[in-house]
């Protein structure tokens, strides 16, 4: 009788652990809580972290005069936008300019227009100082943004960051070679 109870208890414990493991498929590798911000989007309107409250979003860092990785990152973000739409998954995209002195809202809008005709859910943010985005990226995303002393370029990270409904960065991906299916899957898991 005791053996039977012991086996039943072990079975119930194993089932509980399996259920708990299955219910925890949400990405949570990073856990970086973002501080509130209000910047300017490509339409020239204020755009804040509070505008993203309750939404899942993917962000990156780019600038429009970039001669190296930004065109690829932006093309990859446009492809991600398309794949999310094809999967009928609701997510916002946010690209922070690391060259706010030169990246006007109009410039950001024109730049995005080269990659996607749809910027309804894609927000290109500017309207802050270089020092502010430098501090913001380091404090919130743990990524460096620095001016290149030998050119007019800006050195920055090339990751895509997944942010949950509470404004917490939960995962990062290689923005130069994004795992699109994994990102879509991770967005879906956060939306459940």
Q: Which residue, 54, 60, 80, 61, is CA-closest to 167? A: 54
Q: Give 66-81 as a DSSP string.
A: -SSSHHHHHHHHHHHH
Written as six digits, the tokens of 136 are 């913001």
Bridge-based pairing state of the strands 57-62 and 92-97:
parallel
Range of the domain at 158: 28-191
Q: Which residue has the tokens 């502010």?
A: 132
Residue 13 lies in a domain: no
* DSSP code for 117: S
Written as six digits, the tokens of 57 are 């979003």
Residue 7 lies in a domain: no
Q: Any idea of the CA torsion for 144, 30, 51, 85, to the nearest 10 degrees? A: 100
Q: Which residue, 27, 118, 123, 125, is CA-closest to 79? A: 118
Report pLDDT for 120: 87
Report pLDDT for 27: 74
Residue 8 lies in a domain: no
3-state DSSP call for residue 79? helix
Residue 177 lies in a domain: yes
CA 47 to chain centre: 16
Residue 168 lies in a domain: yes
Report pLDDT for 25: 66
Residue 109 lies in a domain: yes
- Per-residue pLDDT of 121-150, as tens digits, reads 999 999 999 999 999 999 999 999 999 999
Report pLDDT for 19: 36
Q: Which residues of the chain have pLDDT under 50?
A: 3-4, 6-24
Residue 126 lies in a domain: yes
3-state DSSP call for residue 158? coil
Residue 91 lies in a domain: yes
β-partners of residue 172 are 161
The total domain count for the chain is 1
CATH label of the domain that carries residue 159: 3.40.30.10
Report pLDDT for 21: 39
- What is the Cα gyration radius of the chain? 20
Report pLDDT for 28: 73
Written as six digits, the tokens of 162 are 């997944």
């Amino acid at each position: 009788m005791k053996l039977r109870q012991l086996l039943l208890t072990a079975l119930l414990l194993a089932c509980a652990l399996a259920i708990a493991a299955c219910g925890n498929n949400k990405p949570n590798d990073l856990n970086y809580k973002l501080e509130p911000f209000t910047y300017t989007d490509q339409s020239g309107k204020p755009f804040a972290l509070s505008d993203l409250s309750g939404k899942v979003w993917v962000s990156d860092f780019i600038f429009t005069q970039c001669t190296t990785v930004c065109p690829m990152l932006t093309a990859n973000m446009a492809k991600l936008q398309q794949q999310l739409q094809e999967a009928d998954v609701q997510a916002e995209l946010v690209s922070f300019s690391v060259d706010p002195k030169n990246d006007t809202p109009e410039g950001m809008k024109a730049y995005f227009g080269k990659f996607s005709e749809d910027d309804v859910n894609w927000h290109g943010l500017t309207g802050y100082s270089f020092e502010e985005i430098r501090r913001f990226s380091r404090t919130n995303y743990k990524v460096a943004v620095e001016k290149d002393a030998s050119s007019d370029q800006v050195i920055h990270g090339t990751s895509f960051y997944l942010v949950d409904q509470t404004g917490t960065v939960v995962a990062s991906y290689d923005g130069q070679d994004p795992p699109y299916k994994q990102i879509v899957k991770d967005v879906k898991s956060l939306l459940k």
